[in-house]
């Protein structure tokens, strides 16, 4: 087989999203025996630096679409650019991250190319004919389904962030970097982004965080969320929240973990005062290790937890924070 795998490497403000590098590593693993090329695509303005980083993470070729009009994400423009590249290169698969951008872009791209689509995948395997077997969680993460495209061969696949390893950075790799044509105005855009304002300035990205500390209704009020934030700061972790907390207005929606929030796969997830409804579990069940702190021994979260602590979070969380600080100080 000579058809490549195309990998869309998402970037924001010139910084690559880690899931794009994870997708590169998975594409390289899938093509290790077949020898298919792994071609990365990066779109935006001022993307020379991301393109160089991509080359060091395993891409055999990098395609760049760079233009001031691409500073902010546009589904119409990004779809047109990727569709043109796919039509020309005839890849066996296109991999994207299952981010907010990827989940919006992938179905549009699949529809444009008349290809199959598998979303939020946690494992991939390739058959001899190049067909991908994609494993994805279903029924709120309770089961995993293996899906296979029947026709056509091209498959568009989004990968859940933090599930696949990032390939080792190899300095000095010299790979071809080509420029993709930017559509002047293929269609009149339905919307134009003029400005993006960060509502959670300085906040770690939940989908890329190795450690997450989440708080729930057991905190009893927004003023007590400082307990969660202090533990997170000590662990260099991201801060998350349950839907109940967000609905109560204690934290913005960007903090929400769960079925109607963000799906995360950290190395460590610490749940504080969260009962663990099925909707919340759907967003964090793929964490490598889960520590649950709750005063109710019958809370559903304990059935999922790797380690459970039954007790008062107002006593336990400060003790954990101090213990982490002491360990970091070498005490």
Report how far residue 18's alpha carbon sits from residue 299's, in angstroms, rounded to the nearest whole number: 34
Quickly state the pLDDT bin for 185 (edges 50, 70, 90).
low
Q: What is the mean pLDDT of the chain?
A: 89
- With a cut of 60, say whether residue 187 has pLDDT above it: no
In tens, the pLDDT along 67-90 reads 988 888 989 999 999 999 999 999
Residue 201 has pLDDT above 80, yes or no: no
| Token code pair at residue 57 | 């993470």
Query: Per-residue pLDDT for 92 more than 60?
Result: yes
Q: Which residue has the higher pLDDT, 14 or 226?
A: 226
> And the tokens for 243?
């839907």
pLDDT score of 189 more than 80: no
> Quick one: tokens of 66?
């760079």
For the segment 295-304, the average pLDDT, to the nearest whole number, is 96
Spatial separation of the C-alpha atoms in residues 271 and 229, rounded to whole Å: 13
How many other β-carbons are positioned within 10 Å of the β-carbon of residue 300? Answer: 17
pLDDT band of 167, cuts 50, 70, 90? confident
In terms of C-beta distances under 8 Å and separation of at least 24 residues, what long-range contacts does 169-175 make, across chains too? Answer: 169/53, 169/56, 169/57, 170/56, 170/57, 170/58, 171/56, 173/55, 173/56, 174/55, 175/55, 175/59, 175/60, 175/61, 175/62
How confident is the model over 269-289, as pLDDT tens digits?
A: 999 999 999 999 999 999 999
3-state secondary structure the chain: CCCCEEEECCEECCEECHHHHHHHHHHHHHCCCCCCCEEEEEEECCCHHHHHHHHCCCCCEEEEEECHHHCCCCHHHHHHHHHHHHHHHCCCEEEEECCHHHHHHHHHHHHHHCCEEEEEECEEEECCCCCEEEEEEECCCCEEEEEECCCCCCEEEEECCCCCCCCCCCCCCCCCEEECCCCCCCCCCCCCCCCCCCCCCCCCCHHHCCEEEEECHHHCCHHHHHHHHHHHHHHCCEEEECHHHHHCCCCCHHHEECCCCECCCCCEEEEECCCCCHHHHHHHCCCCEEEEEECCCCCCHHHHCCEEEECCHHHHHHHHHHHHHHHHCCC
Is the pLDDT confidence value at 143 over 90?
Answer: no
pLDDT at 34 over 90: no
The residue with greater pLDDT, 51 or 214, is: 214
Round to whole Å and give the CA distance between 96 and 278.
Answer: 27
CB distance 106 to 96 below 8 Å: yes
In the chain, ranges of CATH 3.40.50.620 domains: 5-179
Residue, of 84 and 48, whose pLDDT is higher: 84
Q: Which CATH number does 5-179 carry?
A: 3.40.50.620
Tens digit of pLDDT for each residue in 229-268? 999 999 999 999 999 999 999 999 999 999 889 999 999 9
Q: What does the buried/exposed string (b/e) look like for 272-295 if buried means 16 or more CB atoms within 10 Å of the residue's CB?
A: bbbbbbeebbbbbbbbeebbbbbe
Cα–Cα distance for residue pair 257/259, rounded to 1 Å: 7
CATH number of 206-328: 3.40.50.1220
The predicted model gives 48-76 an average pLDDT of: 85
pLDDT tens profile 125-137: 988 887 889 999 9
């Amino acid at each position: 087989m000579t058809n490549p795998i195309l990998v869309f490497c998402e970037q924001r403000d010139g910084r690559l999203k880690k899931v794009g590098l994870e997708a590169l590593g998975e594409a390289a693993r899938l093509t290790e025996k077949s020898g298919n090329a792994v071609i990365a695509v990066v779109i935006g303005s001022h993307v020379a630096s991301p393109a160089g980083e991509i080359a060091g993470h395993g891409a055999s070729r990098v395609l760049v679409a760079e233009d001031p009009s691409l500073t902010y994400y546009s589904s119409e423009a990004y779809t047109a650019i990727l569709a043109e590249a796919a039509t020309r290169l005839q890849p066996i698969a296109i991999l994207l991250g299952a981010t907010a951008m990827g989940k919006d872009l992938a179905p549009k791209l699949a529809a444009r190319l008349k290809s199959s689509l598998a979303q939020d995948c946690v494992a991939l395997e390739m058959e001899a004919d190049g067909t991908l077997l994609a494993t994805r969680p279903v029924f709120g993460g309770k089961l995993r389904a293996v899906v296979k495209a029947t026709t056509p061969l091209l498959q568009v696949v989004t990968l859940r962030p933090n599930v696949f390893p990032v390939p080792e950075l190899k300095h000095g790799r010299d790979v071809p970097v080509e420029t993709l044509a930017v559509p002047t105005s293929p269609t009149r855009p339905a919307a134009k982004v003029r400005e993006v304002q960060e509502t959670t300035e300085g906040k770690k990205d939940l989908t890329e965080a190795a450690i997450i500390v989440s708080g729930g209704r057991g905190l009893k009020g927004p003023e007590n969320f400082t307990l969660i934030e202090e533990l997170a700061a000590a662990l260099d972790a991201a801060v998350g929240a349950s839907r109940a907390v967000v609905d109560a207005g204690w934290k913005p929606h960007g903090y929400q973990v769960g079925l109607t929030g963000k799906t995360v796969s950290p190395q460590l997830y610490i749940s504080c005062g969260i009962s663990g409804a099925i909707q919340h579990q759907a967003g964090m069940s793929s964490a490598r290790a889960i520590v649950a702190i709750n005063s109710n021994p019958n809370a559903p979260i304990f059935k999922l937890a790797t380690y459970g602590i039954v007790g008062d979070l107002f006593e336990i969380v400060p003790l954990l924070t101090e213990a982490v600080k002491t360990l970091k100080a070498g005490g």
